[in-house]
Structures are given as structure tokens and as C-alpha cells.
A and B are shown apart, each in its own frame.
Chain A
Amino acid sequence: MVIDAINGIVRTVVSGSKEYKVWMGFLSLLALVGIAFVFRQVDQGLIATNMRDDVSWGWYIANFTFLVGVAAAAVVLVIPYYIYKFEPIGEIVLIGEIMAVAAVSMCLMFIVLDMGSPERFWHLIPMIGIFNFPQSILTWDVVVLNMYLVLNLTLVVYALSKTYAGKSYKTKLIMPLIFFSVPAAISIHTVTAFLYLGAPARPFWNTAVLAPRFIASAFCSGPAFMLIIFQIIRKTTKLNITDAALHKVAEIVTWCMAVNLFLLGSEVFKEVYSATAHIEPFNYLWHGLRGHDQLVPWIWTALIVNSIAFLILIVPSIRKNFFMLNIACVFIFIGVYIEKGMGLIFPGFIPSTLGAIYDYMPNAMELWISLGVWAIGLLIFTVGAKICIAIKTGEIGHADPSAHH
């Protein structure tokens, strides 16, 4: 049985359409290029990046932050299916959880890449090293991210092994875990926001609205990404994903984007109307400061694409047109990605605590390494999703594809 299962899984992963093989080959190539650059970074140190003392976190931490959001977004599927019993989402909830696993894996890779001395990782292991819990919010992040990873892996493996064996899985048995995954998802992005907002040295981050805004924007970007992937999956596999499921997810994205834009407005009002000395990073970002304005086109692009996406989504008849929906999804993905990097991490450091302006932008090496991490994450996701679909459609194992569990 186990041998059979492993055989089936291996067969599923190595065989596939020409498009599948090209996609996997492309991702592997990107991953290898990224890894080659990692050797250079390890050899030279982080001086090989464009980060410096004045902007001591950059592109890696921006990607990490964005991906925590993508990971958290799995609950956008979990809540309607398991809690509100919205059946059409049942087919895709596992794919969402696999996405969460891939995204958290990428987060952990970005954190390790950003460490100056990654060989000392064991210093973080409780008892053997020193885990500064609960004082350091970073240790909270280590706890919740790993917990969330294990949680989603458990749920996916349990559901798939039961389906493989042709049994319906007892939701009752895992219901506590599923309920727990909802606050867990919220917690990973809340704690990540607390990393930044807990630093009074950085007035740009030191706003209580940061955590709710992280959640709102994450529940846009993650599902937007997934909406596109679901459409690819239903075109290329036998998995039956209904329009009703996609429309429900799109509706959730709509209202999360509304909240995101509302919270952005609150921040803008607070900064502009109170107009204290702490407005400097805000000015640097939105219209330039003392002649430095490299982030300005980025943040306006983010605002414009997010707003257009919201206008598309807010009208149900337009939202239900898949062409328009896909435009909105791509816009949201781009908009939120910019918001987290150029719109949040970089300006948090500019001007520095001593008033210096260092115009940080990632260099080619940082971009290649980040692409490599994304490629590895997408490899994890593709393999996971392919196995999941093969089991659910009965290609391998003993599932009855016509039955809903």
C-alpha cells in the first residue's frame, strides 16, 4: 500500500504534459541560478547586496513580508468551506493549504538568506541555543510560522492520505485543527506586522493600523494569486472547480481591498493632517524628500493598480467576467507586492534615525536570488498541487472522483 502510494506519487510528479515539463524545467533553471548567486553572497557577505547600515533590511525582508500574507490567505478558503459550509470551495481548499505550505517555506528561505551568520542558526533553538521568548517579537514569528507550516502540512497529508485510501475523512476529527488554523493564519501576519510596528525608532512603521492593514492586503494578494492558479488548474486538469467557488473568493477579495484602501486613507490622513516631523518617510515615499524621489513612481503605481482592481471588483457583473477578474487579480498582486517592499520596508528606513537618506533599491544579485526562492516555492506548490489533484481525481489511489466528502 505505502509502496504503491510512493510509486504513484513519483509517477505523478515525473510525468505530465509538455507544458508541465517546460514549466518545471524553467523553475529548476531559475532555482539553480538563484543558488549560484547564493554562493557568491555567502562568500562575500551581505555587502554583495545593496543593503547598508542606513537601510539594513531590504528586498529579502520585503518578500518575506509579502509571502507571510500569501500564506495567511489560505484561511480565505478555509473559513467559507469549513465554517460556513460553502460546498463549491471544497474542491480547492486543499490547494490553498498547499499554497500556504509553499509560501511559508519561501518565508523561511528569505529569513535565512537575510541572516548575516546563517551557520549560527542553532543559536535560535530553545535549550541548545537561547530563544529570547517572549521579549523578542522575532521569536514569536519563528513560533507562529513554524506552527502554521506544520499545521497546514498535517491537514493536507491527512486529507490526501484518507482520500487516497478511498475513505471519506472525518472532518470532526480534524475540526479543532481547522478551527485553530484560522487564528493561526491571522497570527502569522499580525506578528509579522508587530516586528515593524513595535519599533518606535521607525515612525513610519509605528502605527497600530499596520497589523489590520497587513491582514486586509494579504487577503487580497493571496487569493488574487490563487484565483489565477485555479483557472489554470481547471483548464489543465480534471479537477472540477466551479465558477461559484471562484466568484465567492473574488467577492472576499473585493471587500478586503476595500478595507485595505480605507486603512491606507486613515494612514494618509493621520500623517498629512497632523504633519509632525514624523511625516518625512511618508513624504519620501509619496512625493520625494530633499530631491530624493525614486520610490514615488512605485507607490503611485501601486495605488493606481489597486484602485482600478477595486473598481473592477466592486461591480458584480464586471467581476464575474473572467477576463476582467484576471486583470484585477494581476493588478492586486502587483499593487500589494509593491506596497510591501517599496511602500513599507524601504521607506521605514528612509530617512534614517540620524536623518540620512540612502536610496536603496535591490541589485541584480538580490533579484536573482529572490527569483530563485520564488522558483523553489513554486516547485513545491506545483508538485504538491499535482499530487493533490491526481489523488482527488482518482488518477492514483482509490478516490471516487464523483463523491464529495
Chain B
Amino acid sequence: MSDDIKGRAKSLITRRKFLAGLTAGAAATALTAGDAGAYAFEELFRQHYKRLDADDLKDILAKLEEELSFKYGKKVHAKATPPGDNTVFGYALDLSRCIGCRRCVYACVRENNLSRDPEVQWIKVLEFQKGNNKWQGLEHSNRYYNPEQVPEKGRFYVPVQCQQCKKPPCVKVCPVQATWQEADGIVVVDYNWCIGCRFCMAACPYGARNFNWGKPSIPKEEFNPDVHYLGNRPQYKGIVGKCTFCIQRSREGKYTACVEACPVGARKFGNLMDPNSEIRYILENMKVFRLKEELDTNPKFFYFFSMGTGVKS
């Protein structure tokens, strides 16, 4: 599918250049009305991420840095780090350790510049009653648990985020290919290409996609200035976003924010192609399972119990 786009893109270079020229011309005339107006105009005609050549992308990232630095009052670094060679990311979550503290949720919100109002969270921690036999299909979950202290007696917790499916139903249904799977297995969204039809949200079996129902707001002092074009740059009103395994970190060899935030070490992340990685050790030595396996979406997000059946209670 991506080859197809590239092929088509080549035949479209002239048209794209024409559009870019048009945009640049219009931008020049609009400059008097202010850079912001020109930037908005360029955005309106900006092409799909995969149709941008290196120069276009450089320009766009430079403009993005300028715009965000101005808006959030700090030096912003915008990048579009490509996938690494021989890398497919995988994730494993130890349900016997998770205490339901939601530190992963908050770390994710901050790292990924998610909107605080309206509230957008890419990780949802589900609480279940122990002995509940209806939890693997995720029925009878409680996402809004709010006790004084976690973990509560008789409860266990299942954090859910994008499962980075190998056969992602969300990608298939997108009418404009605004979402796709990168070579390292991460499913990304082009925030400037999504039309906001939300078909992907209807198709996702894991509730992993979040729509920006209103204009996102991020407090200046909490803004994370290290942004990736396909990841944690601020999103727009009227488009869909999702977990990208912290693409801005993972592609530079770092752990995701949720892995680092977890106080009990329940979250494991690494390169599935590296036989010596921790994730490979878990897959080879633990009894792992995936959510809704009957749908055969083939997630690269695994769950396992390293001990007993849950927290001591």
C-alpha cells in the first residue's frame, strides 16, 4: 500500500509542486496579514506526509518549530525521525504487577502534549472485580474508579492503549489513508491529513483512538518541546490521535514515557527483532496473551502474569 502511494506520488510531483507554488505565492501575498495567516493557508493545502519530499518536510518542520516556540514560549525541536532498520517494536504488560495508579496515563498525557481541556488520554486503565469471568472481552470494566488508595482489595487492573496491530482494522477503513503502519510496526496518524470522519474509531476493537472534539489546550509550562511530526506534536480540533509507542522517544532508543513512569515495572518495551531484548525474553519464557485474539488483529501488545494471578489481597 505504501509503495502504491509512493508510485502515485511520483506521478503527482508536478501537481504537488504546482500546489506548493500556489501556496507559496498566496503565502507571500498573505505575509502582510501576518505569518500566522500564511501558515494557516499553507496548512490548508499541505500534502500527505508520504508525498512530502525531504525539502518540503524540512521547511514544514522549521515552520512548526517557529510556530510552537512562539506559542509555548520555549525552544521547540520538531523532527520526523524515520523508522530504524531491523526494528519492530513490541510491548508487554505484567498484569500481576499493575496496581492501577494511572501514573502511566499522566506521563503519557504530558509526554505526548495531549489536550487537558477537553481531556484526552491515550491510555485507559480498566478496573475489574477479581473473580469476574467477563474480563477478557473487557466487559464489566470500570474506567472511572476513584478510591483513596490503589490497589484495592479484590480488584485488578488492565491498562489498554493502542495495541499496534499487525492487521490494524483502523488503517483499512480510513478513506484518505491518513493513518498507516510504519516499517517499525507503529500505526501513526497524519494530523494534517485526517478529515475527522471517525471511521477508524468505529473499527478499533480496543478504544485506542481519541478524537479531538474541541480545540486542544496544553499548559505552556507543561509543554514538551521535543516533538515528532507523526507523534507528540500538538493535535488539532476535529482530528483523531492515538498512542504511537512514543515515536519521538522509541525511535531514538529510549523507553516510552509509560514504561519509565510505571512504579512497579509492569511495563516492558523493546525491539522484537532483537533476540537479546527483554521483550523477546518475555515472549519466549512467559505465558503471554493478547486482547480479543478472536478478532485476529495480531496486536504487538502482549499481556502476561509474572506471578500468581494478581496483586496480594
Contacts and interface: CB of A to CB of B under 8 A. Distances in A.
Interface stretch (B62-70, B212-220, B260-268, B282-290): B212-220
Nearest to B214: A47
B139 interface: yes
B172 A136 contact: yes
Contacts, number: 149
Given A353-B207, A354-B206, A138 B173 contact: yes
Give the secondary structure class of B's interface: loop
The winner among B118, B199, B238 for most chain A CB atoms within 10 A is B238
Contact of A57 (B173, B176, B198, B236): B198
A198 B197 CA distance: 16
29 contacts: A45-B237, A46-B196, A47-B214, A51-B213, A54-B207, A57-B198, A116-B194, A117-B194, A120-B193, A120-B194, A120-B196, A121-B195, A123-B178, A124-B176, A127-B15, A130-B48, A132-B174, A137-B173, A196-B202, A199-B203, A201-B202, A277-B134, A277-B139, A351-B139, A353-B204, A354-B143, A354-B206, A355-B137, A355-B139
Interface in A138-156: 138-139, 142
B259 interface: no
A183 interface: no
A131 interface: yes
Contact of B176 (A44, A118, A123): A123
B138 interface: yes
Interface string B131-145: 000100111110100
In this complex, the interface size class of chain A, counting residues with CB under 8 Å from chain B, is: 35 or more
A4 interface: no
A351 B137 CA distance: 12
A280 interface: yes
Interface of A: 44-47, 51-54, 56-57, 111, 114-121, 123-124, 127-132, 135-139, 142, 195-196, 198-202, 277, 280, 348-349, 351-356
Interface in B1-57: 1, 5, 8, 12, 15, 44, 48
Interface string B203-247: 111110111111100000000000000000000111110000000
Interface size class of B (residues with CB under 8 A): 35 or more
B181 interface: no
B124 interface: yes
Given A130-B5, A356-B141, A47 B118 contact: yes
A354 B212 contact: no
Contact of B201 (A56, A127, A142): A56
Nearest to B197: A115
Nearest to B16: A128
A116 B178 contact: no
A128 B15 contact: yes
